[in-house]
Amino acid sequence: MLMFDYKLLAALAAVVEQGGFERAAQLLGLSQSAVSQRIKLLEARVGQPVLLRATPPTPTEIGRRLLNHVQQVRLLERDLQGQVPALAEDQPAERLRIALNADSLATWWAPLVGEFCAEHKLLLDLVVEDQDVGLKRMRDGEVAACVCAAERPVAGARALPLGSMRYRAVASPQFLSRHFADGVTGEVLARVPSIVFGADDRLQHRFLAELGVVGGFAYHLCPSSEGFVRLTCSGLGWGMVPELQVSQQLAGGELVELLPGRALDVPLYWHHWRNGGELLGSLTLHLEKGVRAWLV
């Protein structure tokens, strides 16, 4: 019967979460060769590779299953420490690794979870991903929970609908007067510069498709929510921006809506492990109660 050696599993988790053997060794206080030996021993125990030696290393299918197990064990151990005070002595604060999209991080996430983290002495390890791909981190066993646009949970997890993030097509008044003297149309939007968050950002594509525009369009890449708004205000291009993030700029006239009344709503879901323990369950309940004040 195979018995889990959690030192070996901790090495696997560190390599994946830290993106390489060198950083994993620093985190664990070991030499790089010692971490490598632990991974090799784990692979010998399970009889197959647990990592693809790429840059960064990525887990195999069995590696993902082991990482998912480690995530849940960490959370359950915290519950046990709370029930048995002797086990909690000299224990570091709990860290919870969560993937979420940059726009949530820039708007509703911080004010909603700040007090919760203080109350529960929780440290967050946030992994920023586009809302359309965040679930991959959870599937790969890298995070205990995620906020993303995918409705269907991975095996062993639950998905809670949070509401929708409402996006508006906006630009600076100067950009509007420079490019849209004859009115805003899909054809002109496709020709003038837009701003796209990253390769996985499909919001502009979806917005243009709703206007009947199919194919490529001109755009700048800006992988920063705050930078995205600043570039839009400076007249560099038009973009799809969360209504929550630019309410002041719209009210003050620094930005204008290109097609008033035409919004794009992106549903968001909170995915978490079913056996995630009391901490993850409490955070889920906290989000469920508070998020409706922020999302559509």
As a whole number of angstroms, the distance between CA 188 and CA 196 comes to 17
What pLDDT is stored for residue 252 in this prediction?
A: 96
Question: Would you give the end-to-end CA distance of the chain in angstroms?
Answer: 51
Q: With cut-offs at 50, 70 and 90, classify the pLDDT of residue 93.
A: low
For the chain, the structural domain boundaries read: 1-58, 165-264
204-213 own/partner pairs: CB under 8 Å, 24+ apart = 204/239, 204/240, 206/264, 207/167, 207/169, 207/240, 207/264, 210/262, 210/264, 211/185, 211/186, 212/186, 213/186, 213/187, 213/189
pLDDT digits (tens, 9 = 90+) for 246-269: 999 999 999 999 999 899 999 999
Task: State the average pLDDT for the chain.
Answer: 88
* CATH numeric code, 1-58: 1.10.10.10
Confidence of residue 226 (pLDDT cuts 50, 70, 90): very high
Higher pLDDT, 198 or 276: 198
pLDDT digits (tens, 9 = 90+) for 121-175: 888 989 888 777 778 888 887 788 999 999 999 888 999 999 999 999 999 999 9
pTM over 0.85: no
Please give the pLDDT value at position 1. 42
Domains 1-58 and 165-264 share a fold: no
Quote the CA–CA distance of 155 and 164 in Å, as a whole number: 24
User: What pLDDT, on the 0 to 100 scale, is given for residue 251?
Assistant: 96
Q: Say if residues 235 and 110 touch (Cβ distance below 8 Å).
A: no
What's the CATH number of domain 165-264, 3.40.50.300, 3.20.20.140, 3.40.190.10, 3.20.20.70? 3.40.190.10
Kindly write down the DSSP assignment for every residue of 224-277, as one continuous string: -HHHHHHHHHTTS-BEEEETTTSHHHHHHTSSEESSTT-EEEEEEEEEEETT-H
